[in-house]
């Protein structure tokens, strides 16, 4: 059953505030077409219908945005932190006032259900609220000096123009948790959103403009030529920092490009998250937790439970209960009130997931359910469970990025830890046990930046998000989220006794 309001209406006509749907890039406080007037299509992945034609910019306009950002930042960073905070607070309020329209835009371009999109909008707004407050708490230090006639202090200053590149799977939250701390401490931002999901970024820029954010501080560069735009962002000497969320191979490439000018980088890269279920785990907690950790956004999250490690004694019951929960899923468009899960982002993504599953089965995995591309319009892959999976199979080492639960068995705690750590990635890990001793021992032994114990909903604006090893560097959110946008300056006062 479809909501009549959404059945055939163009996207703009689904919105209460039609001014939130933008198709031009945002540079220097103004809306811009591409220099050659080229556009690219934005497609609803659930219906494969074109919902917008967005300006397709390149390196030249990226350079312009950087120049304008550098100019605008000089006055912005000189303002009192409270003044910057007040503007961010207004931006936060406008986002919360427009949740429904922003959710519709997000669901239309990304595919997730409206329930998930509303949740992401609230989550994205929370970073603006948080850093509006934290920006007023950037403190320095007085350093006890070795010489009696000297005094030393440190102050923290905005690093400079920040380049940001964000992904399509969380097209609002991945923006605000980078942009909010940067703006809060006095930086300006030049942002390239994913070409699949530019509309959410442009809507955020429109609301920032309405909130009174001065021109040039937030610039949105839309375009499909990631090489040209990224090349300008990494080579331009006015850019002092690059923040990126995306795949590890692309992150490594961007880091290498930034090395030539020694730019600061923060990277939130790929994951291969393990979820450990011990024999004493409470399955009434485990199953809902796995539904969140594995199937939220149809498995398209960097902290998705990629490898589910289940102790032998509880394995059979676990698989039965997980299958029962999955049977209730209904994949469909956001316009259907019956949809519990949305599509994958592109047909290429569907094909990649299908190839991983098919190869696992050929290597000896057992297909419990799913395992096929859904024969209908849109980019849908059925919820899938694979058992008898081992660490010798290719899928053990791959980030699936789809609604596929791979189940591994283990017998001892050490075996589970070894399996969990057998990856170059180290973003998030989860474990379920009723033993406090085991909780501490296993959590400390796992080589990951974030650990969930009897909990998989671990993200919030107040906690540090980030990984170790090849999952990245730096932390986003929390009090630590300001650090990557600040430089520490030491000032020495001499001859103080004269």
CB 110 within 8 A of CB 167: no
Contacts of 204 (CB under 8 A, 6+ apart): 95, 102, 124, 172, 175, 176
Paired residues of 38 in beta bridges: none
CA 151 to chain centre: 43
The separation between CA 374 and the C-alpha centre of its own chain, rounded to angstroms, equals: 27
Give the integer Cα–Cα distance in Å for 112 and 102: 13
Closest CA to 43 of 171, 195, 202: 195
- Cβ–Cβ contacts within 10 Å for residue 8, how many? 9
Closest alpha carbon to 406 in 424, 425, 419: 419
Choose, from 187, 258, 302, 461, the residue flagged as catalytic: 302
Closest CA to 465 of 164, 172, 127, 169: 127
Helix (H) or strand (E) holding 175: helix 173-185
| Range list of H helices, 189-239 | 198-210, 226-235
- 268 catalytic, yes or no? yes
Task: For 27, list phi and psi in degrees, rounded to 5.
Answer: -135, 130
The pair of structure tokens assigned to 231 is 């090349």
Q: Considering 120, 134, 232, 268, which one is annotated as catalytic?
A: 268
HSE-CB at 94 with a 13 A cutoff on CA atoms is: 19
Spatial contact of 308 and 290, defined as CB atoms under 8 Å apart: yes
187 carries an active-site annotation = no
Contacts 24+ apart (CB under 8 A), 337-341: 337/1, 337/2, 337/3, 338/1, 339/113, 340/113, 341/113, 341/295, 341/298, 341/383, 341/403
Helix, strand or coil for residue 498? Answer: coil
Q: Which run of H or E residues covers position 350? A: helix 347-362
What residues are labeled active site? Answer: 268, 302
């Amino acid at each position: 059953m479809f909501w009549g309001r959404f059945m055939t209406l163009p996207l703009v006509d689904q919105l209460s505030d039609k001014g939130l749907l933008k198709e031009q890039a945002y540079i220097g406080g103004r809306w811009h077409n591409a220099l050659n007037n080229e556009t690219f299509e934005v497609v609803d992945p659930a219906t494969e219908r074109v919902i917008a034609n967005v300006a397709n910019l390149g390196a030249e306009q990226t350079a312009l945005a950087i120049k304008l950002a550098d100019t605008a930042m000089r006055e912005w960073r000189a303002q009192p932190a409270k003044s910057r905070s007040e503007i961010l607070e207004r931006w936060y309020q406008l986002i919360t006032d427009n949740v429904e329209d922003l959710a519709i835009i997000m669901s239309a371009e990304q595919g997730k259900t409206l329930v998930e999109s509303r949740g992401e909008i609230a989550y994205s707004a929370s970073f603006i609220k948080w850093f509006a407050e934290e920006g007023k708490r950037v403190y320095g230090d007085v350093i006890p000096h070795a010489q009696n006639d000297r005094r030393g202090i440190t102050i923290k200053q905005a690093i400079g123009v920040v380049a940001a590149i964000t992904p399509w799977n969380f097209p609002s939250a991945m923006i605000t948790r980078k942009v909010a701390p940067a703006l809060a401490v006095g930086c300006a931002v030049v942002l390239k959103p994913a070409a699949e999901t530019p509309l959410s970024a442009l809507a955020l820029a429109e609301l920032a403009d309405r909130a009174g954010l001065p021109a040039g501080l937030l610039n949105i560069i839309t375009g499909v030529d990631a090489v040209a735009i990224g090349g300008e962002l990494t080579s331009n000497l006015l850019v002092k920092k690059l923040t990126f969320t995306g795949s590890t191979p692309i992150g490594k490439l961007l880091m290498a490009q930034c090395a030539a000018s020694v730019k600061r980088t923060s990277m939130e890269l790929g994951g291969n998250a393990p979820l450990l279920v011990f024999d004493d785990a409470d399955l009434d907690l485990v199953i809902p937790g796995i539904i969140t950790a594995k199937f939220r956004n149809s498995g398209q999250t960097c902290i998705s439970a990629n490898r589910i490690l289940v102790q032998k004694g509880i394995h059979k019951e676990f698989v039965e209960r997980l299958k029962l929960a999955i049977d209730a899923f209904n994949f469909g468009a956001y316009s259907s009130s019956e949809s519990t899960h949305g599509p994958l982002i592109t047909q290429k993504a569907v094909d990649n997931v299908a190839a991983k599953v098919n190869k696992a089965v050929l290597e000896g995995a057992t297909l419990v359910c799913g395992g096929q591309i859904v024969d209908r319009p849109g980019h849908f892959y059925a919820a899938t469970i694979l058992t008898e999976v081992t660490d010798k199979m290719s899928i053990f080492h791959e980030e699936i990025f789809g609604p596929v639960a791979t189940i591994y068995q283990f017998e001892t705690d050490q075996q589970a830890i070894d399996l969990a750590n057998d990856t170059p990635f180290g973003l998030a890990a989860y474990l379920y046990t009723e033993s406090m001793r085991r909780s501490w021992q296993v959590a400390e032994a796992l080589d990951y930046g974030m650990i969930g114990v009897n909990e998989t909903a671990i993200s919030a604006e107040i906690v540090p998000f980030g990984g170790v090893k090849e999952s990245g560097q730096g932390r986003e959110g929390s009090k630590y989220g300001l650090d990557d946008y600040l430089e520490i300056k030491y000032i020495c006062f001499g001859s103080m006794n004269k």
